[in-house]
Amino acid sequence: RTRGTDVNIAISQKTKLYKSGKKTVLDLFCAAGDFDADKAVSAVNEACDAGYDKCLARHVKAWNVKFKDTWVDFDENPAIVQGFNFGQMHLNMAVDSVWTQTGVPIKGLTGHGYRFAVFWDMDFHMFPYYLYTKPDFAKLILQYRYGQIDKYRENAARWNAKGVQVPWETQNDGREVTAPWLCLQEREIHISADASYMFKLYDDITGDHDAMVEMGAEFIMETGRFYISRIRWSDKNRRYELPDIGCPDQYHTFADNNFFISVLAAWNIRYAIELAQDPQYKGAVRKIGLDDAELSEWRKIIGNFYVPKPGRNGIIEEFDGYFKLSEDLGGISELYCSHSQAVKQPDVLAGFAYFEDEYSLDIRRRNYRFYVDKTIHGSSLSLPGNAFCGARCGLNDEALYYLGRSCRMDLDDVNLDTERGVHMSGYAVQWFAVVNGFGGLTLKKDAVCLSYNLPRQWSKLDYSFYWKGQHIFIQIDSNGINVLSDKGNKIKIPVVYKRKKYLLAPGKKIKLRK
Ligand code: IFM
């Protein structure tokens, strides 16, 4: 029984020693008992009686079922494919219906690094992966966040803010557990919008609208209220700004107007206003006591809120004053970098992920080239992030380079920290780099959009995903894209390719030429 949380853990173990020809074999069986010691014992007895070969066959069968939804097939170098699949295995292992209280810690349950805490890695990096491949698990993540909403209200109040402030790091009980000396508890505030965006994505892509009515609307309006309470009027610039934040890039903790945070905060406030005006959410509006006067204040603020824009050369300044920092990255290390333009992971590129349509390909490419040169990869998030962003910009050679390095991160222990647990978020972003980047997939509320972007080094790429509860399979080769709808699907799927719309019936296939 765990000390703080009173949870029963039941694991039993049994060995079997026998002769097989000239060999003496020792088999070791182990079973976890669904929190119940008797069940653990009977499971291990049953496994021992069945024997090793039968257990192995069952194991393979069970994994094939799990992998079916997340399987991706591409003909990269085997070491990279191996690393990619290793990651998929961990993403599959990290979720189960028993884990509603834990969220998805950044190391899964594989190591003590970061004390099993949940960060934005779950909301921003891993959630979309589960949404596309295992929507039921995605809903559990929403329930986990919503289940802690009262603690998040208390968290906002700790900093004299209003509404809901999601802690930068939390565990089972929703309390903030980030080490105070990092000065991030009150500054790493994008996580509230990262969490809210999950509810929108889930609503758009699954069509299961209950989650928005029962949880999402309240959550989004409350995080919108939180940002409003953090925004300040600048007399100097005659606009509303978001000062005193910690950049997600992790090397600039005391900054103003960070692009990533402001772009997400702006989305959050606008979406909160939209929901508040929609009669179907009036229960949530009443519950949080949002009245017309407060709403019109929100409108006034968002109408004149500053989000950094591309400059004349197309580059977006990550935060106020970033361009004036030292460009000399020689000798830069984690402990010596805040005076420079070095970033652990590039915020501006991450900011494009949800708002790609608002920035032209040319702007995204220019920012990609600028910021990958500033990235010193102190985090496991930067390699797959660069792969994803590069592939979405059609810069496939660069993207492949980053994907390869990312896929080997744990198997080769690149950052010398795998002993503290594997890098779960990187695995999810690898999937996105392959499927959304090279696979050309964009899921929208009203359609599945595809484009052709197979790397010249690959001859094929197969993957599958869920949209509105329908399972869809994609096969790409040098001729084009085949889109297959599972036989068990119920509705016709709108597929958009080269600006043309197709309707794909259950069990049918369409061929899209390159
Ligand atoms: O959440 C990340 C952070 O952005 C960079 N440092 C590691 C954390 C966990 O992956």
Tens of pLDDT, residue by residue over 192-221, are: 999 999 999 999 999 999 999 999 999 999
Find, among 124, 127, 92, the residue nearest to 110 by Cα: 92
Given a cut of 80, is residue 456 above it in pLDDT?
yes
| pTM for the full predicted model | 0.95
Task: Provide the pLDDT for residue 421.
Answer: 96
Q: Is residue 120 lining ligand 1, measured as CB closer than 6 Å? A: yes
* DSSP letter string, 480-508: EEEEEE-TT--S-EEEEETTEEEEEPTT-
- How many other C-beta atoms lie within 10 A of the C-beta of residue 376? 18
Task: Provide the pLDDT for residue 99.
Answer: 66
Q: Is residue 144 lining ligand 1, measured as CB closer than 6 Å? A: no
Given a cut of 90, is residue 370 above it in pLDDT?
yes
Mean pLDDT score, 222-250 = 98
Given a cut of 80, is residue 262 above it in pLDDT?
yes
What percent of the chain has pLDDT above 90? 90
Given a cut of 90, is residue 437 above it in pLDDT?
yes
The pLDDT tens digits of the residues spanning 89-117 come to 999 988 877 666 789 999 998 999 999 99
Measured from the CA of 380, which atom of ligand 1 is nearest? 10
Mean pLDDT score, 249-277 = 97
* Residue 419 Cα to ligand 1 middle (Å): 17
Mean pLDDT of the chain: 95
* Residue 254 Cα to ligand 1 middle (Å): 17
Place 371 in a pLDDT band, splitting at 50, 70 and 90: very high
The residue type at 318: E
**Whole-angstrom distance, CA of residue 506 vs CA of residue 142:** 29
Task: Provide the pLDDT for residue 445.
Answer: 97
Q: Is residue 106 lining ligand 1, measured as CB closer than 6 Å? A: yes
Phi, psi of 506 (to 5 degrees): -55, 135
Please give the helix or strand (H or E) that residue 190 lies within, else none: helix 190-206
Q: Is residue 379 lining ligand 1, measured as CB closer than 6 Å? A: yes
The pLDDT tens digits of the residues spanning 155-190 come to 999 999 999 999 999 998 999 999 999 999 999 999
Residue whose CA lies nearest to ligand 1 atom number 5 = 379
The pair of three-digit structure tokens given for residue 465, joined into one six-digit string: 């995903």
Q: Is residue 121 lining ligand 1, measured as CB closer than 6 Å? A: yes
Task: Provide the pLDDT for residue 98.
Answer: 66
Give the length of the chain.
514
* Residue 455 Cα to ligand 1 middle (Å): 29
The pair of three-digit structure tokens given for residue 32, joined into one six-digit string: 């976890």
The pair of three-digit structure tokens given for residue 254, joined into one six-digit string: 């005391």
Q: Is residue 12 lining ligand 1, measured as CB closer than 6 Å? A: no
Mutational pocket test of ligand 1: of 123, 170, 171, 250, the residue with most ligand atoms within 8 Å of the beta carbon:
250
The pLDDT tens digits of the residues spanning 73-94 come to 999 999 999 999 999 999 998 8
The pLDDT tens digits of the residues spanning 320-365 come to 999 999 999 988 888 889 999 999 999 999 999 999 999 999 999 9
Mean pLDDT score, 362-373 = 98
Q: Which residue has the higher pLDDT, 330 or 124?
A: 124
CA distances from 383 to 165, 191, 351, 370, 507 (A): 29, 21, 16, 15, 37
Mean pLDDT score, 223-241 = 98
Phi, psi of 28 (to 5 degrees): -115, 125
Q: Is residue 425 lining ligand 1, measured as CB closer than 6 Å? A: yes
Task: Provide the pLDDT for residue 95.
Answer: 85
